[in-house]
Amino acid sequence: MNVYRYEQNPLVTPSDVKPHRPDFEVIGAFNAGIAQYKDEVIMLLRVAERPVSEDPEIVKAPVFNVEKNELEILELQLSDERYDFEDPRVIRKAGSEQFVYLTSLSYLRIARSKDGREFTIDPEPFIYPSNDLETFGIEDPRITKIDDTYYIYYSAVSPAGVGESLVSTKDFKNVEHHGMIFAPENKDVLIFPEKVNGKYYALHRPVPKSTGAPEIWIAESPDILHWGNHKYLLGLRDGMWDDGRIGGGAVPIKTEKGWLELYHGATKDNRYCMGAVLLDLNEPSKVIARSETPILEPEADYEVNGFFGNVVFSCGALVEGDTVKMYYGVSDTSMACAELSLSEILASLTEV
């Protein structure tokens, strides 16, 4: 696979982003949703910020208080044995796999570019936690344009669980909120850019507890707001690059051969790569072909090292002719872009 990484990579880093509060520091500007809006490439960044901590013995956890409409900063002692601080991203209850706090608050912020390489970051957050399902933050947006509306959906994180909420905008200024469209636990929703046989389709990635794995499902909708007829679509593959968890990445790309989905797969030890799967054009719940090996894997320094290293994670791509401009988060830290050939990706897939 020929991969052309932009010379400007990483395109946006935490140091490019001014924190939204003086007592916070930006630790991530990554996993951005991508859209073409007028003559601009919009990068809808997930910005992760954390309260600056002077005391290395204290871990601070930001929580949005809905009633007060403000952020509260909890302070936890690193020595407190009720908690497990091993994962830098989350604070777990000791002895549990569940997290009880996050170490940072994520929200969505716009970066704009004329050439898709040099980005200017908006001075203020674009979408900020605003309800009781977002008290731990909002993450990993995707953007699907249908007619003149941009549908933006993201993971909403709260003590009640992680689900997927939807907002829409026509101008990247005014936003309409549509609530949570996929209940916990769910992430990595991708709404198809047009109806197929009279129905909207979406990929989604539940994380079931009692049995099952983080795998990709597909659902149908009459109106983008309500979803049903859930079907199991794509599973993990033992011993391969995607044997730990998978999830949709970019909005499905319509090709003559089918819907091409660029998805992420991680190994059991959390090395995240990008691969592709081809779905039937008229019946997207049918899988036609799939990547045996990744189309992109963490190799560049900025992909290997960072807050959570060895991660390439795309939430959006632009297609121009045969060129796929795949934007992707690197190491839960920054944004990068690589160009790949659409026909080469399609030719690389193995029929299933």
Smallest gap from Cβ 322 to a copy of itself, in A, equals: 35
Residues 126-145 within binding reach of a copy of itself (CB under 8 A):
132-133
* Residue 101 CB neighbours (<10 A): 18
∠147-329-231 over CA atoms, to 5°?
55
Applying CB under 8 A, among 16, 122, 185, 280 the residue interacting with a copy of itself is 185
How many angstroms separate the Cα of 287 from the Cα of each of 53, 186, 231, 292? 48, 21, 12, 14
Task: State yes or no: residue 221 binds a copy of itself (CB under 8 A).
Answer: yes
Pairing of strands 58-65, 40-51: unpaired
Element (H, E) at 345: helix 342-348
Residues in contact with a copy of itself, counted by CB under 8 A, come to a total of 46
Task: State yes or no: residue 82 binds a copy of itself (CB under 8 A).
Answer: no
Beta carbon nearer to a copy of itself, 116 or 206: 206
Beta carbon nearer to a copy of itself, 88 or 159: 159
Smallest gap from Cβ 181 to a copy of itself, in A, equals: 5
Smallest gap from Cβ 183 to a copy of itself, in A, equals: 4
Task: State yes or no: residue 212 binds a copy of itself (CB under 8 A).
Answer: yes
Task: State yes or no: residue 88 binds a copy of itself (CB under 8 A).
Answer: no
The Cα 233–Cα 211 span in angstroms is 16
Type of residue at 125: P
Please, what sign has the CA dihedral across residues 157, 327, 175, 62?
positive
Residues 6+ apart with CB under 8 A from 150: 35, 37, 143, 144, 168, 169, 170, 172
Beta carbon nearer to a copy of itself, 69 or 210: 210
Query: Among the residues of 148-223, which ranges form H helices?
Result: none
Task: State yes or no: residue 184 binds a copy of itself (CB under 8 A).
Answer: yes
* Residue 132 CB neighbours (<10 A): 14
Beta carbon nearer to a copy of itself, 88 or 222: 222
Smallest gap from Cβ 23 to a copy of itself, in A, equals: 26
Residues 318-347 within binding reach of a copy of itself (CB under 8 A):
none
Positions touching a copy of itself (CB under 8 A) are 97-100, 132-133, 157-163, 178-186, 204, 206-212, 215, 217, 219-223, 225-232, 235
